[in-house]
A and B are shown apart, each in its own frame.
Chain A
Amino acid sequence: MKRRVVVVSAGILSPAGVNWPEFNAGIFRHRDWFAPLPDHLPYPAAARVKDEVIDSFFKNGGRRFKYRRYYNRATEMGVVAACECLNGIEPGAVDLGELPVFWGAGPNFDLRAMPESMDEHEIDAPGCERRSEPKSGAAAAWMLQYLPNLAASAVSSAFCTRGEAITYVTACAASSHAVGEAFLKIRSGLLDFALCGGSDSRLNRQGLLAYLMLGALSSARPPRVLPFCRDRDGFVPGEGAAVFLLADESLALSRGLPILAEVAGCGSSSDGFRLTDPDPEGFGMERAMSAALRSAGASPSDIDIVNAHGTGTLMNDAAEARALRRLFRRPITVTSNKSQFGHLSAAAGAIEMAACIAMLQSQRVTPTVNTESGTPEEGIDLVKKSLHRPLRMILSNSFGFGGQNSCLILKRWTS
């Protein structure tokens, strides 16, 4: 018999709540979490985590993070969330010395430790032929800030976890893939516990410009996200981190660990289509959802709601709606957290999985805010206001740029 995999702890740093309890309250509120960005940035608003929250953790967290100078923002946020997740575990219940880390991350554009210009040999490094005065402030290992694996390395270094630490870089499906891989390894018996999740921030000049050049961001003022609605015009960027400790169910029970929910299945696919557009028919998305259902031993009728990828972009939502219609063959209840706290990019899958866990625990569906007057795509029963509903199984979709798809199935856990 296959082992069952459960979530025994969660750590969150998000615009809708800077820890797990706050997040649980925040995501059922009928509001979005968008706020103005500083004037020097090329987009007016985003869902941000307050700088003070991060600074306060590193200043008053009761321990020293020696390598903070190499952290990018995604890594800082990941370390904060990982700390909450691990603090939620009874000391000694899990051997950190063997704990693996599976992390979803993206490219990092906030290279604070990098000198402003690298063109004029302005680096004061041994053996470097300088043509001008070196600029101070460049860290020797600034390259670390650029690397997607920095967050996973920083987490394992900060908390002395010594199992495998693997980073998944599958764009907006990254942290969903990371959780899925952790799930598969525990279910197959390769691992007993795994720390998994992801973190990302593109709320900097280069990150925002990249999105703007793709025409992916909402052009409304103030910006908002209207998933699956006919008048949708793009997403609003967000940032944050979500981290989970997954465990084999029988071990979690024998060690008296609290169980938040079950991870019942995962499925992945690639569109095998264009680099920049999703397959408009959503065949790749449908294959990933079907694979997740098979993995969970479930059929479409077992799914109570779908926490959609639902970016609020024209093409993505049209493709996802087509895939959902073909798979479910009935109007399916859908919510999208991106209307609330925007698109967390590589961290989107993990933060939206956190929302699924919160929904299963409270038997309530999170609202797709700002869509009251919107007309949804055919076959999409969009949850516009938070509602109580018996929830046993939720399908959570994450579809990455480049046609990389990952779906998770979260299940209510009862003893």
Chain B
Amino acid sequence: MMDNVLECVRKTIADLINCGEDEITPEARLVEDLGFESIDFLELAMTVSSRYKVELDEDGLYLSSFRSLLRNASPEEAMDRLRAAYPHLPVRELRHMLETADQGNVLKVSHVASYLQYRMQGSPSAQAG
């Protein structure tokens, strides 16, 4: 199931930005690597929400509060906040994001797929990681 969701997200993104699906790796960062801009985020959300018939929360799907969650927080506090806000992501992924936060937008293709998976099953794939 997770593979299917990931494949769907990859294909949707490839269609959106007119490139090969092989360029859309799970680790590719939407903004930094794929050049995503606001209209692309809007299109992606429209497509996956109608495909999977789920109501999407923009913060969950795109981690849009990520930076504000880090504000005035010690590393431990930041991790607590991230875990609460993004239960669909594994702890080690959150930690990696925290460490690389100064290198631009952290959102990856796999994060989008994880969120969709989480919303559909209601159980975090995070447990596996």
Residues on A close to B: CB < 8 A? 58, 64-69, 124-125, 134-136, 138-141
CA distance A69 to B39 in the complex (A): 12
User: Is the CB–CB distance between A66 and B39 below 8 Å?
Assistant: no
Determine how close the nearest CB of chain A comes to the CB of B14; give it in whole angstroms: 11
CA distance A388 to B98 in the complex (A): 75
CA distance A65 to B19 in the complex (A): 8
User: Is the CB–CB distance between B50 and A65 below 8 Å?
Assistant: no
CB pairs A–B below 8 angstroms (30 shown): A58-B18, A64-B17, A64-B18, A64-B19, A65-B18, A66-B17, A66-B18, A66-B19, A66-B35, A67-B18, A68-B18, A69-B15, A69-B16, A69-B18, A124-B46, A124-B49, A124-B50, A125-B46, A134-B50, A135-B50, A136-B46, A136-B47, A136-B50, A136-B51, A138-B46, A139-B43, A140-B39, A140-B42, A140-B43, A140-B46
CA distance A182 to B4 in the complex (A): 52
The 5 A-B pairs of least Cβ separation, nearest first, read A136-B50, A68-B18, A140-B42, A66-B17, A140-B43
Residue-wise interface mask of B (3-32) relative to A, using a CB-CB cutoff of 8 A (1 in contact, 0 not) = 000000000000111110000000000000
Among A136, A140, A141, the most chain B Cβ lie within 10 Å of the Cβ of: A140
Determine how close the nearest CB of chain A comes to the CB of B67; give it in whole angstroms: 22
Among A58, A65, A134, A136, the most chain B Cβ lie within 10 Å of the Cβ of: A136
Q: Which residues of A contact B35 (CB under 8 A)?
A: 66
Q: Which residues of A contact B16 (CB under 8 A)?
A: 69
CA distance A138 to B46 in the complex (A): 9
Q: Which residues of A contact B42 (CB under 8 A)?
A: 140
Determine how close the nearest CB of chain A comes to the CB of B35; give it in whole angstroms: 7
- Chain B interface extent, by class: 10 to 19
Look across to chain A and name the residue whose beta carbon is closest to the beta carbon of B53. A133
Give which listed residue, B15, B17, B39, B51, contacts A141 with CB less than 8 A: B39
Q: Which residues of B contact A141 (CB under 8 A)?
A: 39
Q: Which residues of A contact B49 (CB under 8 A)?
A: 124
Look across to chain A and name the residue whose beta carbon is closest to the beta carbon of B37. A66
Q: Which residues of A contact B17 (CB under 8 A)?
A: 64, 66
Look across to chain B and name the residue whose beta carbon is closest to the beta carbon of A133. B50
Look across to chain A and name the residue whose beta carbon is closest to the beta carbon of B58. A126
Q: Which residues of A contact B43 (CB under 8 A)?
A: 139-140
Determine how close the nearest CB of chain A comes to the CB of B22; give it in whole angstroms: 13
CA distance A139 to B44 in the complex (A): 10
CA distance A134 to B18 in the complex (A): 24
CA distance A221 to B18 in the complex (A): 40
Look across to chain A and name the residue whose beta carbon is closest to the beta carbon of B15. A69
CA distance A58 to B19 in the complex (A): 10
Look across to chain A and name the residue whose beta carbon is closest to the beta carbon of B19. A64
Look across to chain B and name the residue whose beta carbon is closest to the beta carbon of A66. B17
CA distance A125 to B51 in the complex (A): 14
CA distance A313 to B37 in the complex (A): 48
CA distance A140 to B47 in the complex (A): 10
Q: Which residues of B contact A69 (CB under 8 A)?
A: 15-16, 18
Q: Which residues of A contact B47 (CB under 8 A)?
A: 136
Q: Which residues of B contact A66 (CB under 8 A)?
A: 17-19, 35
Determine how close the nearest CB of chain A comes to the CB of B83; give it in whole angstroms: 28
Determine how close the nearest CB of chain B comes to the CB of A88; give it in whole angstroms: 24
CA distance A65 to B42 in the complex (A): 19
CA distance A68 to B50 in the complex (A): 22
Look across to chain A and name the residue whose beta carbon is closest to the beta carbon of B36. A66
CA distance A17 to B46 in the complex (A): 40
Q: Which residues of A contact B51 (CB under 8 A)?
A: 136
CA distance A409 to B58 in the complex (A): 57
Determine how close the nearest CB of chain B comes to the CB of A120; give it in whole angstroms: 15
Look across to chain A and name the residue whose beta carbon is closest to the beta carbon of B34. A66
